[in-house]
């Protein structure tokens, strides 16, 4: 079975703009989640687990050039289909960007623009916020050197 590529954030934005039906949006989230490359078994550990998520979510942060020129990439996974799609959406927003942008940009604004905030359970919203906070905290640490 071939591995699908996770779409870029601009492709995701275009898709959400074209999809009006919420069932279809959920299906799309599940599909982009399926495209996330799986983490290695040893990366699904307690240190990489995002606290505050009801489902298991693991996040691996990679930093190149710590300090003011730090660049961030992320890998992630979840054991729940929709949550894995939310992880994919979040990583598409943040991964491959400078730490100075990652530390200040709030992906939850993107979730609001898609109307996701109203269609997520409070537990899922809290989990997404926990993941975003972790990513932004990792970026702040990378900037500090």
Question: Is residue 3 a part of any domain in this protein?
Answer: no
Q: Smallest Cα–Cα separation from 128: which of 142, 145, 143, 114?
A: 114
Domain containing residue 100: 9-144
Reported as a single tens digit per residue, the pLDDT across 21-56 is 999 999 999 999 999 999 999 999 999 999 988 899
Question: Is residue 2 a part of any domain in this protein?
Answer: no
Q: Facing residues of 71 across strands?
A: 64, 98
Question: Mind telling me the catalytic residues?
Answer: 53
Task: Identify each DSSP E strand in the chain by its residue range.
Answer: 57-64, 71-78, 97-98
Number of domains in the chain: 1
Is residue 126 classed exposed, middle or buried when 0-12, 13-18 and 19+ CB atoms within 10 A define those classes? middle
Lowest-pLDDT choice from 4-8, 52-56, 101-105, 126-130: 4-8
Question: Is residue 89 a part of any domain in this protein?
Answer: yes
């Amino acid at each position: 079975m071939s591995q699908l590529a996770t779409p870029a954030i601009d492709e995701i934005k275009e898709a959400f703009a074209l999809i009006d039906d919420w069932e279809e949006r959920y299906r799309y989230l599940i599909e982009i989640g399926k495209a996330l490359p799986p983490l290695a078994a040893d990366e699904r550990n307690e240190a990489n687990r995002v606290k505050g998520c009801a489902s298991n979510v693991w996040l691996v942060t990679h930093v190149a050039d710590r300090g003011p020129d730090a660049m961030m990439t992320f890998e992630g996974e979840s054991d729940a289909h929709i949550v894995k799609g939310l992880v994919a959406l979040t990583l598409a927003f943040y991964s491959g960007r400078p730490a100075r942008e990652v530390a200040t940009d709030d992906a939850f604004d993107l979730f609001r623009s898609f109307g996701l905030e109203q269609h997520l359970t409070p537990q899922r919203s809290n989990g997404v916020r926990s993941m975003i906070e972790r990513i932004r905290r990792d970026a702040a640490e990378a900037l500090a050197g």
